[in-house]
Amino acid sequence: MSAIRQTSDTDTGPITPVYRLPIDHPSVWKPADFASAADYTIELTARQLRDVEHAIARVKAAGLGLDDLGREHFELPSLRPVIDEIRRQIEKGRGFVVVRRLPVEAYSKDDLGMIFWGIGTHLGHGLSQSVLGDRLGHVKDFSREDPMARAYRNKQELSPHTDSADLVGLFCLRDAQSGGVSQLTSATAVHNVLCDEYPAVLERLYRGYSFHRRGEEQPGEPPYTPYRVPVYSNTEGNVSARYVRTYVEAGEAAAGRPMDDAELAVLDRFEEVTKRPDLMLEFTLRPGEMYFINNYTILHARTAFDDGDADEDRRRHLLRLWLEVPGMRPVHPHIRK
């Protein structure tokens, strides 16, 4: 693994060689490739749901908490084919899977968190999602309590982006009164479009940007990455994406390089392509449904949502997992958190 090199004013070349050929891989897809949602959805069977019920009962009987819960505590024998298919699609296939039919009404909120975490232990190692150290994130609108809440903790639209993990999982406990549509775009399909239509934009994205650390830097570190994080990188022929627009703009400004109109136009063009209707898949996660995505080949987003005047226990509420999956794919160290 190469050492992270420091950014300088003259360090403006691509971080990795630009992949200039059409990517031919199952992760390159368009919504039209799917006849229906059944093409990317796994529906849990009655037997598999019984295994989940038995697993959470054993965990509770043993008095285990989330921080104590490992794969060995959450045995799911009949779900092995489901776990294997998720891993296959995440690592070698389309890059995402939707799983449905978990009866959220049958469990408490804490139990549902343990179930989601337990399933996650069969896919990877849970990571902290913020300076708070939370390894099970709560995606809901906290803006009433915290007007400065991070993007996933308010109700505004989220544009296509990636997170800071190998694999990302979202589990819907309650949906919104309106809005909150999930949106997925193949980052490799976008790469092919850029390579064909906007090669100069693609070249600039490979050069990367300083990302703002949003208060998660260690003592003595600057608030931005002192190295460039490429939006696209090519490692051993594997093209990966890493992108959060607000982090890019804030990071470049903090590094003393506020982005001019030409630089912003590059991001505008990239986002325009990611949002093209023929590239963006849209669906709404309903209670009891979850999805898992490859964070390097899938850009995810959501529309704004509205909970109306709903009480706390009736607001839109999703759980989020960030998972590290050793050996999932070779990636450049700059795009790891």
Q: What is the pLDDT of residues 181-191, one digit of tens each?
A: 999 999 999 99
Query: Are the beta carbons of 167 and 123 closer than 8 angstroms?
Result: yes
Give me the amino acid identity at 254: A
308-333 average pLDDT score:
88
Q: Can you read off the two tokens belonging to residue 98? A: 């939707």
pLDDT grade for 149, boundaries at 50, 70 and 90: very low
Instruction: State the chain's mean pLDDT as an integer.
Output: 91
Domain ranges of the chain: 31-326
Specify the DSSP class assigned to residue 5.
P
**pLDDT score recorded for residue 5:** 38
Is 143 or 314 the better-scoring residue by pLDDT? 314
First to last CA, the chain: 15
Is 145's pLDDT higher than 60? no
Q: With pLDDT > 90 as the criterion, what percentage of the chain qualifies? A: 80
Cβ neighbors of 218 (< 8 A, separation 6 or more) are none
**pLDDT score recorded for residue 155:** 66
pLDDT, tens digit (0-9, with 9 covering 90-100), for 57-116 = 999 999 999 989 999 999 999 999 999 999 999 999 999 999 999 999 999 999 999 999
> Which of 285, 323, 284 is CA-nearest to residue 119?
323
pLDDT, tens digit (0-9, with 9 covering 90-100), for 18-55 = 999 999 999 999 999 999 999 999 999 999 999 999 99
Is 223's pLDDT higher than 90? yes
Specify the DSSP class assigned to residue 94.
S
**pLDDT score recorded for residue 289:** 99
146: burial class by Cβ within 10 Å (0-12, 13-18, 19+)? Answer: exposed
174-182 average pLDDT score:
89
- Relative to beta strand 41-43, strand 96-100 is parallel
191-219 average pLDDT score:
95
**Three-class secondary structure of residue 62 per DSSP:** coil
- Rounded Cα distance between 77 and 48, Å, is 8
Is 310's pLDDT higher than 80? no
129-135 average pLDDT score:
80
125-141 average pLDDT score:
85
Specify the DSSP class assigned to residue 212.
B
- Relative to beta strand 290-294, strand 167-174 is antiparallel
**pLDDT score recorded for residue 2:** 35
Q: What are phi and psi of 23, to 5 degrees?
A: -80, 125
Is 146's pLDDT higher than 50? no
220-249 average pLDDT score:
97
297-319 average pLDDT score:
86
**pLDDT score recorded for residue 11:** 62
Run of H or E including 97: strand 96-100
pLDDT, tens digit (0-9, with 9 covering 90-100), for 3-15 = 333 444 446 799 9
> Which of 14, 9, 16 is CA-nearest to residue 204?
14
* CATH architecture of the domain with range 31-326: 4-Layer Sandwich (3.60)
